[in-house]
Structure 1
Amino acid sequence: MSRPIIIAVPKGRILAEALPLLAAVGIEPEPAFADEDSRALRFATTDPGIELIRVRAFDVATYVAHGAAQLGIVGSDVLLEFDYSEIYAPVDLGIGHCRISIAEPAALAAADDPRGWSHVRVATKYPELTRRHFEARGVQAECVKLNGAMELAPTLGLATRIVDLVSSGRTLKDNGLVEVEVIAEVTSRLIVNRAAFKTRADRVVPLVDAFRRVVAGRTAA
């Protein structure tokens, strides 16, 4: 019996939107997947040749890049941060809409002009993406790596500004911050390990085509 195709799916905000897409291509996880008390991370599906693993969003790209999973679903923010050459992203799934933005305290923003920046100290979980963005503008960026609670950094003096995902903007507002620049719009993508796309084409290519058809159908509806 051939090895199952492993699809890495992210914990958190994207998962709820990803499950209907998976179901539409005939992939539904076993009941334990929905059990909040379950500590399992690997799950069978209605397709005996496909299994799901549920991991952190940043780890989805790593599992796929290294071939531990053949496909995955992940935000384009993660792809921009890691820029793995081993990953092919053939389908924009049109879910998980948000943006990567620069934000700063409202009082500072009232008198600030981003065009005048020459050096910035930024708290972010996207240090590579952030450095590249500012380097392209000729701005030196000192990045403080954080994995969460980014909005605390300016209020506690850790960094003047943050670069983070923004959806509604409510969290920024509640913490006295405002967006001053959008770096990139973000959606979730179907990603594929490039080697698996060739060596397991008999299973991987039809899956990619199925996702593409589902997304096209949704767009046309």
Structure 2
Amino acid sequence: MSLLQPYFQQCAYPAFSISFPSHSFYVSVSKRTFISCCSSQSQTAIVDAPIDSKIAERDEIRLGLPSKGRMAADTLDLLKDCQLSVKQVNPRQYVAQIPQLSNLEVWFQRPKDIVRKLLSGDLDLGIVGLDTVSEYGQGNEDLIIVHDALEYGDCRLSLAIPKYGIFENINSLRELAEMPEWTVEKPLRVATGFTYLGPKFMKEHGLKHVIFSTADGALEAAPAMGIADAILDLVSSGTTLRENNLKEIEGGVVLESQAVLVASRKALIQRKGALDTTHEILERFEAHLRALGQFTVTANMRGGSGEEVAERVLSQPSLAGLQGPTVCPVFCKRDGKVTADYYAIVICVPKKALYKSVQQLRAIGGSGVLISPLTYIFDEETPRWRELLSKLGI
């Protein structure tokens, strides 16, 4: 027998249990699923190369992006809006470039593989959903969320139960936990693909008798088919749940999720140029996202001085702008002399307050109102950059 054989011996189990103090959880696994019989420490020692050595093996910085689906399309759109368009020679290729970022490679991967490869040292940065980071990262301290709100991919990981039968009058997680039906012999059956976050959530909320299982196809069908009592899945609008006679319950949301920029702590500290590249990406994201839904409003207004005009503008609460209005003289030549009878006012206004702001400007004497959308708003320093440096101990 090879000396390595005990470490790689594989065995199939129909289920395994996760034990916690005072109660147990069970995660059902398909019989075709193989679970390693060896300890994870032994596997790591033999199979995985140390992350530090992988960082030393290459000079280029690697960014992992989702390869398919709505998340992939929205990610490419965000990068394009930030003047970081991804250039692919062939759409079938898994490697691409962003010309504006030298020494950076883009790797298209499945979201869960992006997280795994960040942990293994094969990627340095990635854009995925927070749910994916939480499920496959499992709290690993090497993963750092650089930007936690990229404003797309919004969903929630939520527990849902049938609207009918024994669940008809159950509307909260507490009521579900207190149902006498759940015993050691007959636990609550939950179908899910989140076999880390699911048991963790149940443990934290005191549900004692729960069994988790995976199901082929749409999870929403599992309760109606009788193979599960509840499901734990990602929900966007909730329409699919309602159409399958399922409902979310109070306290049953495990996680609010959207797209995030995530990085390997070791890569940011050890790989040359990784921190600078991350800084540029972060600043572009922050500036663009802050400008979303904001408009520049410019108007001319008569006045005796800039201070007088500014006082009139600031008397209206929705005309303050980001830090206050910009007021400057508009010069014209009259009777051979240069005078400033008008002043130009420039303010930033959110879309939802746009019409009201225009009305207020006109009410205090504004005319010739011009409106244009904003592309970027750069701060003096990006707040998330300071947070990142703090996390890295820099």
Which amino acid in structure 2 is aligned with residue 115 of structure 1?
A: R
**Structure 1 residues 52-91: aligned runs within 5 Å:** 52-81=106-135, 82-91=138-147
Aligned partner of 1:111: which letter?
N
Q: 1:66 to 1:187 in 2, by over 3 A?
A: same
CA deviation string 1:26-82 (max 9, x = no partner): 53222446x4xx2x3222332452222222211111011111111101111122223
Letter of the 2:108 partner, please give it: R
1:157 equivalent in structure 2: 226
The CA distance in 2 between the partners of 1:216 and 1:148, in whole Å, is 38
1:112 maps to amino acid: I
The counterpart of 1:28, out of the listed 69, 85, 88, is 85
1:92-129 Cα distance to aligned partner (Å, 9 max, x none): 12321111111112214432243131542111111111
Structure 1 pair 66/146, CA: closer, same or farther in 2 (3 Å)? farther
AA partner of residue 205 (structure 1): L
Structure 1 pair 25/204, CA: closer, same or farther in 2 (3 Å)?
farther
Question: Residue 147 of structure 1: CA displacement?
Answer: 6.8
Aligned partner of 2:282 in structure 1 is 212
The match for 2:189 among 121, 139, 163 is 121
Q: Post-superposition shift, 1:173?
A: 2.0
1:97 to 128, 151, 154: 154
Mapped contact 1:94–1:215 kept (Cα < 8 A) = no
Distance of aligned partners of 1:64 and 1:26 in 2 relative to their CA distance in 1, 3 Å threshold = farther
Measured at CA, do residues 48 and 210 of structure 1 come closer, stay the same or move farther in structure 2, by a change above 3 Å? closer
1:53 and 1:189 map into 2 onto residues whose CA distance is: 16
Query: 1:183 is matched with which residue?
Result: 254
Unpaired runs of 5+ residues, structure 2, are 1-57, 183-187, 295-394
1:132 and 1:8 map into 2 onto residues whose CA distance is: 27
SS of 1:163's equivalent in the other structure is: strand
Q: 1:98 to 1:59 in 2, by over 3 A?
A: same
Q: Please provide the CA RMSD for this pair.
A: 2.2
The count of corresponding residues between Structure 1 and Structure 2 is 215
Identify the residue that residue 12 of structure 1 maps to in structure 2: 69
Corresponding position: 1:173 with 2:242: yes
Partner SS, residue 219 of structure 2: coil
1:194 corresponds to 2:250: no
1:84/1:184 CA distance change after superposition, 3 Å: same
Which residue, 206, 221, 225 being the options, matches 1:138? 206
Which structure has the larger Rg over C-alpha atoms? 2
1:112 aligns with 2:170: yes
Mapped partners of 1:5, 1:88: distance in 2? 16
Q: What residue number does 2:59 align with?
A: 3
CA drift of 1:25 comes to 4.9
Single out whichever of 81-90 and 54-63 deviates more from structure 2: 81-90
Which residue of structure 2 aligns with residue 45 of structure 1? Answer: 98
Unaligned runs of 5+ in 1: none
Residue 214 of structure 1 and its aligned partner are, at CA, apart by 2.9
SS at structure 1 position matched to 2:74: helix
Identity, % of aligned positions: 28
Which one-letter code corresponds to 1:184 in the other structure? L
For the structure 1 residues 152 and 32, does the alpha-carbon distance in structure 2 shift closer, same or farther, using more than 3 Å as the test? farther
Tell me if structure 2 keeps the 8 A contact 1:22–1:28: yes
